[in-house]
Amino acid sequence: MEYSVRSGFETLALSPRNTEKLKLVVDERINASLLVTYSGTWESLQVEVIVSPYSSLTLMLKNEGSEDVVLQVGGSVYRDASLTLALCELNAGNTQAEVTLDLCEEGAFAMLRSACIAASRKQFHMQCNHLRAHTEGLMENYAVVEEGGQYCMEATGKIIKGARESNSHQKTRVLTMSEQQSSEVVPVLLIDENDVKASHATTLGQPDENQLYYLQTRGLSRRQALGLLTVGYIMPITELFEEEDIRTALKDEIEMKVGLHA
């Protein structure tokens, strides 16, 4: 299925009955935002994104099902174009996701962001390849891992020889809610050029008990206090779109998932 992305904001819903491979094409000088939702069991959902020169696309892939999903995403970003891609995983099912973004021409920019609540098995392998000079790739990954959850994030920034004056930066924040969970973060930088900037930062740990105690003395239950502390880990995903109704719906869903609402 090939979909030509138009300017402005659009939504697209996928199901295993009608889509196994989705190709999103953004023509030159188009500025677009697209929310893609999917549910059901996917042995392999493949998404290809082409962002043509001088265009921009903000794209969220949101898993709304409780079934197992294997997701493969590939993106190509061309001259002076930008792609902001977000994976939103607030659901209960197992997910295995592989994302590869190629910055193909000078001036290409990519932001790769993920938000995850892991009560099951969530595995991510993300890579941003700098194939030309003067490109920029950013990765921001946020996760809350609940009891019994398994979370693995491998994030790779690769700058090839000749891709001078490129920037590759990544950060991952993981909050673990129990001793009975498994969390692994593997940041990787593959740099074959001297004149570049690259960095990675990772935080992984449990909520601060002193902060929890303080919030409980203010009248919150422990569940509410935990929710208030953890909601900030996931909330950056709500800032992706300018549409207020989409932001509000995401915010309400996150707050419900972390226990701020009944």
Judgement on whether residues 127 and 98 belong to the same structural domain of the protein: yes
Residue 227: predicted pLDDT: 83
**Tokens coding 22:** 């989705």
Please tell me the pTM assigned to this model. 0.93
Same domain, residue pair 70 and 81: yes
Q: What is the pLDDT along the chain (262 residues), one digit of tens a residue?
A: 899 999 999 999 998 776 689 999 999 999 999 999 998 887 889 999 999 999 999 999 999 988 899 999 999 999 999 999 999 999 988 999 999 999 999 999 999 999 999 999 999 999 999 999 999 999 999 999 999 999 999 999 999 999 999 999 999 999 998 889 999 999 999 999 999 999 999 999 988 888 888 989 988 888 888 888 888 788 889 999 999 999 999 999 988 887 766 5
User: Can you tell me the distance from the alpha carbon of 172 to that of 152, in angstroms, rounded to the nearest whole number?
Assistant: 11
Task: Residue 225: give the domain boundaries.
Answer: 208-262
Kindly state the DSSP code that residue 18 receives in the 8-state scheme. T
pLDDT at 18: 60
How many domains is the chain partitioned into structurally?
Answer: 2
Supply the DSSP symbol for 80.
T
Distance of CA 48 to the CA centre of its chain: 16
User: Quick one: pLDDT at residue 167?
Assistant: 98
**What are the residue ranges of helices labelled H in the chain?**
209-217, 222-234, 244-257
Q: 120: Cβ–Cβ under 8 A, 6 or more apart, which residues? A: 92, 93, 94, 95, 148, 149, 150
Label residue 124 left, alpha or beta by phi (over 0 means left) and psi (-120 to 50 means alpha): beta
Q: Are residues 122 and 171 in the same domain?
A: yes
For residues 94 and 190, membership in a common domain is answered with yes
Q: How far apart are CA 153 and CA 118, in angstroms?
A: 12
My answer on whether 166 and 110 are in the same domain is yes
Do both 148 and 215 map to the same domain?
A: no
Task: Tell me which of 169, 188, 206 is where a domain ends.
Answer: 206
Are residues 233 and 185 part of one domain? no
Q: Are residues 20 and 84 in the same domain?
A: yes
Of the candidates 141, 59, 42, 140, the one whose C-alpha atom is nearest the C-alpha of residue 94 is 42
Last residue of a domain, one of 206, 233, 248: 206
Residues 195 and 214 in one domain: no
pLDDT at 19: 66
Same domain, 115 and 236: no
Q: Are residues 149 and 184 in contact, defined by beta-carbon separation less than 8 angstroms? A: no
pLDDT computed for residue 209 by the predictor: 87
Beta pairing partners, 21: 46
Q: Do 144 and 214 fall within a single domain?
A: no
Is 48 in the same domain as 178?
yes
Question: Of 206, 225, 243, at which residue does a domain stop?
Answer: 206
Q: Tell me, what's the pLDDT at 228?
A: 83
Give residue for tokens 């593997």: 186
